[in-house]
Amino acid sequence: MISFINANCTFRKNAGVKNLNFSIEDGEFVFLTGPSGAGKSTILRLIYMDLFPEKGKVLIRDFDSTRIRDREIPFLRRKVGMIFQDYQLLKDRNVYQNVALALYASHYKTREIKSRVYNILNQVGLGHRVHHRPTELSGGEQQRVTIARALVKEPIVLLADEPTGNLDPRVSIELINLLNKINKKGTAVIVATHNYSLIQRVPGARLIQINEGEIISIT
Amino acid sequence: MTILWFLFKEGFKGLIRSKYSGAFSIIIIAISIMLVGFGYVIARDTLFMVENIRAQFDVDIFIKQTASRDDIAAFDAKLKKMNEIDHLIYISPEEAAKKFKNEFGEDIFDILDYNPLPPSFTISFKPIYRNLISVEAIANILQSDPVVDELKYRKNFLIILEKYQRIILFTVLGIFAVLTLISIILTSNSIKMTIFARQDIISTMKLIGATNRFIKIPFVIEGTLEGGLGSLVAALIIYGMFYLQNTYFQSFLDYTVVVSYRYYVALLILGTFLGWIGSRRAIRKFLH
Ligand SMILES: Nc1ncnc2c1ncn2[C@@H]1O[C@H](COP(=O)(O)OP(=O)(O)OP(=O)(O)O)[C@@H](O)[C@H]1O
Ligand SMILES: [Mg+2]
């Protein structure tokens, strides 16, 4: 489903990622780990094509980083859900509207939007927070809103960049359990983190370790 | 349908959400439209005034004393056929004497025992021929007619008028162009600020797979609404100012502003257009 083929993406002074060769299949749970600056975020950005490799290529289903056109990128993004450490929710609208936005952008019908949004909010345990603004929610709740927003359009893979970065250990574990539950339903999940304690929480997850832009071990 | 309704609502809500920066854009657009609106009326009335002065230009054609009544009648018919001529007055020697008395207060027959004043025609030209080149060309033709003794017109009047009219025209057009340009830049920049304040929407939209068009449309709708509202404010203020001028200061300045409803409609269209163009220009920058 996702393949990196000799992919290189470097910024100035050699920083970046080099010679990446790996594949991720449908429904897998993958941890990307490594010290700060190793290139975890860079790999995720290559997957949702916010960055492009200057050498080699990245394939996501039918999307080829060397062939994709600018106006096709939104269609890739509809297949790839993303969540971040800093949530990136819109503060001027409530939970429902934040999640529904993703469906409006993908041209769903009003009736379908409503049932899907309520359904997904219940799944992430936010059925009682529908009309709250992001500022009225805890960090863990906000992160669950972003998960709902990423999942509502039924992506093939969910990318999470340091999703527990701003959460306390207990909430972090809840969150990783939620991601595990989502993965069990069939969505591939890729989590970039340097929090090794999370990894043990998902038995059977694959582990890709990166250091200074290169893969040093892969399971 | 869902999508269009959503985008329209987004644009409308955006206007409300943007609060100060949205209000600021509306004010900027209102100021721009007022500049252009007042600029237009001032330019139009200045040029109209100059044209009025020009309309006073006429040529006196003095007929030879030796010309017979038939000669004069034939010449009169010839003048009437010339389509450059707008207006034509025949002044007989008797009328000339009367005019002389009116102007100088003395009867010509008290000074001389005969009437030395020749018959004459006073002609004025249609607007497009009221310029030096046409007037001189026509004068040459008329001068060659055997009944014509002499042609008199104020050549300097035309030369000066043409010089000033050109200066006025270019100044007015220049100011107008600058005002329009300023309003486009002001509008586009203030809308850019509105968008800048909400860049998070754009990056989030990109993240969730919105197309550029989907991201753009609400901002363009918002900008267009701002344009419409701004020009509405401007039109109301201009209407008020013209009303004040015509009701309270009319006699003071000896000037009445006359504009039709079409003028206000044009301002509204212009403002809406400005908001539309401005927001399209502005959003483009943020979609790289
Ligand atoms: N836009 C950029 N311009 C220049 N260098 C960059 C840019 N983005 C990342 N880098 C560099 O690329 C390397 C990898 O960065 P990346 O963000 O992928 O690391 P990371 O593993 O996600 O780190 P962290 O755990 O701190 O998030 C770093 O050395 C970083 O400085
Ligand atoms: Mg990172």
pLDDT digits (tens, 9 = 90+) for B87-105: 888 888 888 888 778 878 7
- Subunit contact B209:A77, Cβ cutoff 8 A: yes
Q: What is the rounded average pLDDT of the residues B167-182?
A: 83
Contacts of A102 in chain B (CB under 8 A): 208-209
Closest CA to B61 of B131, B123, B138, B151: B151
pLDDT at B250 over 80: no
Closest CA to A7 of A23, A27, A29: A23
pLDDT for the residue B35: 86
Q: Is A11 exposed, middle or buried (0-12, 13-18, 19+ CB in 10 A)?
A: exposed
pLDDT for the residue B119: 86
pLDDT at A140 over 90: no
pLDDT for the residue B21: 78
**Long-range Cβ pairs for the range B248-254 (8 Å, 24+):** none
pLDDT at B74 over 90: no
pTM for this predicted structure: 0.76
Structural contact between residues B23 and B191, judged by C-beta atoms closer than 8 angstroms: no
pLDDT digits (tens, 9 = 90+) for A121-137: 998 888 889 999 999 99
The strand pair at A157-161 and A80-84 is best described as parallel
Q: Is B259 exposed, middle or buried (0-12, 13-18, 19+ CB in 10 A)?
A: middle
Residues of B numbered 60-119 whose beta carbons fall under 8 angstroms of chain A's beta carbons: which are they?
Answer: none
Cα–Cα distance, B229 to B5 (Å, whole number): 21
What percentage of chain B reaches a pLDDT higher than 90? Answer: 13
pLDDT at B288 over 80: no
pLDDT at A194 over 80: yes
A195 lines ligand 1 (CB under 6 A): no
pLDDT for the residue A217: 84
Query: Within a 10 A sphere around the Cβ of A82, how many other Cβ atoms?
Result: 23
Residues of B numbered 189-228 whose beta carbons fall under 8 angstroms of chain A's beta carbons: which are they?
Answer: 198, 200-201, 203-212, 214
pLDDT digits (tens, 9 = 90+) for A92-117: 899 999 999 999 988 888 888 999 99
pLDDT for the residue B236: 95
pLDDT digits (tens, 9 = 90+) for B199-211: 888 888 888 889 9
pLDDT digits (tens, 9 = 90+) for A19-38: 889 999 998 999 999 988 88
Q: Which two tokens mark A141?
A: 């709740």
Residues facing residue A160 across a β-bridge? A83, A191
Q: What is the rounded average pLDDT of the residues B265-269?
A: 94
**Rg of chain B, C-alpha, whole Å:** 31
Q: Which residue of A has its CA nearest to B218?
A: A105
Cα–Cα distance, A87 to A83 (Å, whole number): 6
pLDDT at B64 over 90: no
Structural contact between residues A58 and A65, judged by C-beta atoms closer than 8 angstroms: yes
Whether B254 has its CB under 8 Å from any CB of chain A: the answer is: no
- Subunit contact A88:B203, Cβ cutoff 8 A: yes
pLDDT at A189 over 90: yes
Q: Which H, E and C letters describe chain A, residue by residue?
A: CEEEEEEEEECHHHCEEEEEEEEECCCCEEEEECCCCCCHHHHHHHHCCCCCCCEEEEEECCEECCCCCHHHHHHHHCCEEEEECCCCCCCCCCHHHHHHHHHHHCCCCHHHHHHHHHHHHHHCCCCCCCCCCHHHCCHHHHHHHHHHHHHCCCCCEEEEECCCCCCCHHHHHHHHHHHHHHHHCCCEEEEECCCHHHHCCCCCCEEEEEECCEEEEEC
> Mean pLDDT score of chain A, rounded to an integer?
89
pLDDT for the residue A32: 93
Chain B nearest-CA distance from A38, in A, is 23
pLDDT for the residue B140: 86
- Subunit contact A71:B211, Cβ cutoff 8 A: yes
What percentage of chain B reaches a pLDDT higher than 70? Answer: 100
Structural contact between residues B56 and B177, judged by C-beta atoms closer than 8 angstroms: no
What distance, in Å, lies between the first and last C-alpha atoms of chain B? 28
What percentage of chain A reaches a pLDDT higher than 90? Answer: 45
